[in-house]
């Protein structure tokens, strides 16, 4: 299966969910190229952006696991496929 590069945006609206998000990202760290996290304590949310490289299945599994966490919203955008 072809690898793809993409960006994943994660919005955490429930502070209690942050640990579960971090655990999930740690489990799937092999496809994460870069990560930036911004906590917004004033509004009670945190935003994480990820740059990922992996197969469609790997990236979909990541967004699926994250999306099942209570109080977490996830969106992704991926390249069609990479040329070697």
On whether the pTM is more than 0.85, the answer is yes
- Residue 83 in any domain: the answer is no
Radius of gyration of the chain (CA): 13
Residue with tokens 């993409």: 6
- pLDDT value of position 35: 97
Could you list the residue range(s) of the whole structural domain that residue 51 is in?
Answer: 3-78
In a domain, 49, yes or no: yes
Q: Which two tokens stand for residue 48?
A: 């994480």
Of residues 30, 25, 24, the one with CA closest to residue 3: 30
Residue 27, pLDDT score: 96
Q: How many domains is the chain partitioned into structurally?
A: 1
In a domain, 41, yes or no: yes
26 assigned to some structural domain: yes
> What CATH number does the domain containing 31 carry?
3.30.70.1150
Q: Report pLDDT digits (tens) over 15-59.
A: 899 999 999 999 999 999 999 999 998 999 999 999 999 999 999
Spatial distance between the Cα atoms of 55 and 43, rounded to a whole number of angstroms: 35
Task: Give me the phi and psi of 80, to 5 degrees please.
Answer: -70, -50
Q: How far apart are CA 81 and CA 70, in angstroms?
A: 31
């Amino acid at each position: 299966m072809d690898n793809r590069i993409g960006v994943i945006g994660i919005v955490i609206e429930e502070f209690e969910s942050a640990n579960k998000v971090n655990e999930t990202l740690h489990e799937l760290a092999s496809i994460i190229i870069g990560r930036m996290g911004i906590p917004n304590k004033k509004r009670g949310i945190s935003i994480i952006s990820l740059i990922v490289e992996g197969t469609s299945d790997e990236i979909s599994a990541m967004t699926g696991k994250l999306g099942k966490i209570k109080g977490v919203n996830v969106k992704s955008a991926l390249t069609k496929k990479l040329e070697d």
